[in-house]
Amino acid sequence: MLRILRQIFSTGIVTEPLSPAEESRITVTGALLEKKIERRFQRSVAIRFVDAGSCNACELEAHAANNPFYNSERFGIHFTASPRFADILLVTGPVSINMETALKRTYNAMPGPKLVVAIGDCGRDGGVFGCGYASAGGVGNVIPVDVYVTGCPPAPSQIIHGILRAVSPARKTGDGPGF
């Protein structure tokens, strides 16, 4: 027990400002968002996650968004085990034909209004897997997408930012270089 306590005190708080550029983006968005999240989502957004066919690297980075460094919970982002409580559907990967039905079902099971964030180059257009007999390509080919977060895989900070962008009032589909 003493060891654990010692480790806790010596670790301190590692949650950090993201990179200065990212941080300013996020704080700016954050300020804009605060009211919006409060009103629309009761101070927190619930996210349902579906891997629709990714290579699993996008999952690793989505996981990392929860690690103590990025600590996405501080923005009121949390993951839920049921689509019934979810505000946002986070999807990784191209949509494989074997996941198409499950993805549609999850989407349909969510209450409206709902938002969809597609993670990674695959989510945008199928990425390296393209479109073919087993891949339906980007998420947008199967369900409506509100925000795309590009990258292969996108960094955790980009994923967090994508989620914030989805709930932001100035949301636009697709992402230009500067978000």
Partner 1 sequence: MMNWPKEIIASSIGNDNLRELARCGGVTAAYGVPREFFAMAAKALKGAGQPGGLAGQLAVLDGWRLAAEWATDETPFGRGFAVFAAYNSGTEYVIVKSDLPQDDPSFPSLAGIFTPALRFERQIQSLMGVSPEAHPDLRPWIKHEDWPWDVYPLRKSFDGKTPLKKVPGGDYPWARADGEGVYEIPVGPVHAGIIEPGHFRFQAVGEDIINLEEKLGYVHKGIEKRFESLGWIFGARLAARVSGDSTVAHSIAFSMAVEAASMVAPAQRALWMRAVMLERERIANHLGDIGAICNDTAFAFLHHQFSILREKVLRANQRFFGHRLMMDRVLPGGAAVDMDKDASEEMLKEIVWLSKEFEKLVVIYEDNPSLEDRVWGAGVLSPSVAKELGTVGFVARASGQALDARVQNPFAPYDRIVPKVPVLTSGDVHARAWVRVEEVRESMRLIREMLQDIPRGRLCVPCPAPRPGAEGFSAVEGWRGEIIYWVQAGPLSSTAGPLSSTDAGINRCMVRDPSSVNWLALEEAILGNIVPDFPLCNKSFNQSYSGHDL
Binding site for partner 1 (CB under 8 A): 3-4, 7-8, 11, 14, 49-64, 66-69, 79, 81-82, 93-94, 96-99, 101-102, 106, 127-136, 152-153, 155
And the tokens for 27? 């704080």
Q: Does 152 bind ligand SF4 (CB under 6 A)?
A: yes
Q: Which long-range contacts (CB under 8 A, 24 or more apart) does 168-172 make?
A: 168/29, 168/32, 168/33, 168/36, 169/32, 169/36, 170/32, 171/146, 171/147
Order of strands across the sheet with 147-149?
77-79, 45-51, 88-92, 115-119, 147-149
**Shorter beta-carbon distance to partner 1: residue 34 or 111:** 111
Within 53-112, the residues that bind ligand SF4 by CB under 6 A are 54-55, 57-58, 92-93
The interface partner of residue 138, options being ligand SF4, partner 1, none and the CB cut-off 5 to 8 Å by kind, is: none
**Shorter beta-carbon distance to partner 1: residue 26 or 52:** 52
And the tokens for 94? 């191209």
The interface partner of residue 131, options being ligand SF4, partner 1, none and the CB cut-off 5 to 8 Å by kind, is: partner 1
Q: How far is the CB of 168 from partner 1 (least distance, A)?
A: 23
Q: Decide if 141 contacts 170 (C-beta within 8 A).
A: no
Residues that bind ligand SF4 (CB under 6 A): 54-55, 57-58, 92-93, 120-122, 127-128, 152-153
